[in-house]
Amino acid sequence: MPRDTPSIPTVVASIITRDLALYECFKRKLVNYHAVAGSIKPEVEKLAGKSTTINTIVVAITRFSETIERPTREKPVSVLGRARISLASDVVGVTIRARKSELYEIAKRIGELSPSLSEPTRMFQLSNSIKLIADESEYESLIRASLEGFEITRETTALSRLDIHLPSEAEVAPEFGLFLAELLYRHGIDIRQTYIGEETVLILKRSDGPRAYEVLQEEIDQSRAAAREAKITTKPTRDTKDSQTVVSRST
């Protein structure tokens, strides 16, 4: 159950990659970094769970902008090729108004319910609230009652959760979130929320979940096939080795 708050650069990259119009402006170099920083500062602080400064956000924006022009060690499509994905439908997103000091108690209550839950509950710490992503029926029958005493400010139903599991050694750069957003956007699918990391979580409309799964699985299969083909192409054949040996002996 992920509970760590994301870093400022991670949050900034996530906000920009979710807004394809804003990202396009970055690619065309039509943005003022300080203006963008001032505009997204409240959302950055909310998602990061801490206060920050305009200058800190500008630094994060600058680094993100540089990654658009500079390729990373591993392309996002290659990273996705090493992933496993799973889809959960009928998911609910729940926002609980709570202080950081109350995180432990909420996590404890959810943890006590875990043996009775068929689906894991994801929990994300924001600045003055906690976000839960849970199975809708289990939330209504078990989880909601366990949160008695806490202020539930929002319940969003009819969602799907798409989990992307990456190997621990995978290098997840900001471009990975952008790659996912652009890939699904081309197929008419909008991502409601994104949590990027070793276990990346995409929150979508329930009706978009199955199609998003198909699109990502097809991309994974193509990436794996390309990787296998590349290995076969670069692997020296036995005849090549033998001919090299004959040449060296005759010489």
Q: Regarding predicted confidence, which is higher, 237 or 128?
A: 128
Give residue-wise pLDDT tens across range 194-231: 887 668 899 999 999 999 999 999 999 988 888 888 88
Give the C-alpha separation, 241 to 229, whole Å: 20
Query: Could you give the CA distance from residue 133 to residue 155 in angstroms, rounded to a whole number?
Result: 10
Confidence of residue 248 (pLDDT cuts 50, 70, 90): very low
Q: For residue 236, name the pLDDT band (cuts at 50, 70, 90).
A: low
Give the pLDDT confidence score for residue 108 in this predicted structure. 92
Task: Give percent of the chain above pLDDT 90.
Answer: 42
Distance, CA of 165 to CA of 172 (rounded, Å): 11
Q: How many CB atoms lie within 10 A of CB 155?
A: 14
Q: How far is CA 165 from the centre of its chain?
A: 10
Q: Report, as an integer, the average pLDDT of 99-117.
A: 89
Confidence band, pLDDT 50/70/90 cuts, at residue 5 = low
Q: What CATH architecture is 1-227?
A: 2-Layer Sandwich (3.30)
In tens, the pLDDT along 164-198 reads 998 877 776 666 777 888 889 888 898 888 887 66
pLDDT for 135 equals 95
Q: For position 25, what pLDDT does the model report?
A: 81
Nearest partner of 76 among 246, 220, 233, judged by Cα: 220
Residue 81, pLDDT > 70, answer: yes
Q: Which stretches of the chain are DSSP H helices?
A: 8-18, 20-27, 33-48, 54-69, 76-80, 103-113, 136-138, 144-146, 174-185, 209-234, 238-250
**pLDDT over 70 for what percent of the chain?**
85
Q: How many CB atoms lie within 10 A of CB 194?
A: 20
Contacts of residue 216, defined as CB under 8 A and 6 or more positions apart, other chains included, come to 80, 85, 162, 164, 180, 183, 184
The candidate with the shortest Cα–Cα distance to 211, out of 191, 193, 228, is 191
Evaluate whether 9 touches 174 at the Cβ level (below 8 Å).
yes
Is 4 in a helix, a strand, or coil?
coil
How far is residue 172's CA from residue 181's CA, in Å, rounded to a whole number?
A: 15
Helices 8-18, 33-48: axis angle to 10 degrees equals 110
Task: Quote the mean pLDDT of the chain.
Answer: 83
Residue 155 has pLDDT above 80, yes or no: yes
Contact 27, 69 (CB under 8 A): no
- Its pTM surpasses 0.75: no
